[in-house]
Structure 1
Amino acid sequence: MTTQTDLWTVLVILGLTVITVLTRTLFFLSSKPWHLPHWAQRGLQYAPIAALSAVIVPELVMSQAQFITTWQDARLFAALAGAVFFLWCRGQGQAVLGTIVVGMLVYLPLHLVLGW
């Protein structure tokens, strides 16, 4: 089976490649220093937690594009256990790794043994 790519598709891919490379290297090519405004710097402090919330929260409260309607969901208990552990060990260096481990230690038995 042979497939051929038409010229328009190739041109679009090349154009998007050029635009991506140009926009990502623009700050390196500039000869003078460039600084973000204070409001943008302050807003970027919240970007990681906002992105993480946008990915994690729907995964916790939805299953197959529907809100979960039962409390018997292993993800809820794992998230709660992980959050409690993180708040308990917040100032220590291994808090993030411990949060993952505790969450999985709660999730796996509930999911595999009880079928939640």
Structure 2
Amino acid sequence: MTDLHLWIAILALAGVTVLTRGVFLLPRREPRLPGWLASGLRHAPLAALMAVVVPEVLRGSASAAVAPGWHDPRWLAVAVSVAWFCWRRGVTGPVVVGTVTLLLLRGLGMAG
């Protein structure tokens, strides 16, 4: 591959990236989404978060294999997050509280 081919490939990839990501900036007014799509997109961030958090919690750790359950700081962080969600009914709060709980428990020397 010559330098010319390399630069053509780089410029083509940059053009495709700008075109596919910038197409939403072109309309003069906001496009109307069907109700079912708007409803589904409202739940997308929470679904993505669950896809990352749930496998990590259920996977366990080496110390959880010896003493399963509440000895794993992930389960305590989940319990605190669920309690916060039941109390305040938000999405951001449980994420922050669960993360802080997990970091504090690990900082205190709890394995996990």
Same fold (TM over 0.5): yes
Q: Does residue 108 of structure 1 match 2:107?
A: no
Pick one of 47, 51, 56 that aligns with 2:53. 56
* Shift of residue 18, structure 1, vs aligned partner: 1.0
Pick closer, same or farther for the CA change 1:12–1:61 going to 2, 3 Å. farther
**Cα 1:78–1:30 shift into 2, 3 Å:** closer
Contact 2:57 2:74 in 1 (8 A): yes
What is the alpha-carbon root mean square deviation over aligned residues? 3.4
Q: How many residues align?
A: 106
Give the equivalent residue in structure 2 for 1:14. Answer: 11
Structure-2 change in CA distance of 1:32 and 1:13 (3 Å): same
Runs of 5+ unmatched residues, structure 2? none
One-letter amino acid matched to 1:77: L
Mark the runs of 5 or more structure 1 residues left unpaired by the alignment: none
1:78 maps to 77
Scaled by the length of structure 1, the TM-score of the pair is 0.63
Post-superposition offset of 1:33 = 5.6
Q: Deviations over 1:79-111 (max 9, x none)?
A: 1112112212337xxx71x76346534653366
3-state SS, counterpart of residue 17 of structure 1: helix
User: Relative CO higher for 1 or 2, CA cutoff 8 Å, sep ≥ 6?
Assistant: 2
- Percent of aligned positions with the same letter in both sequences? 36
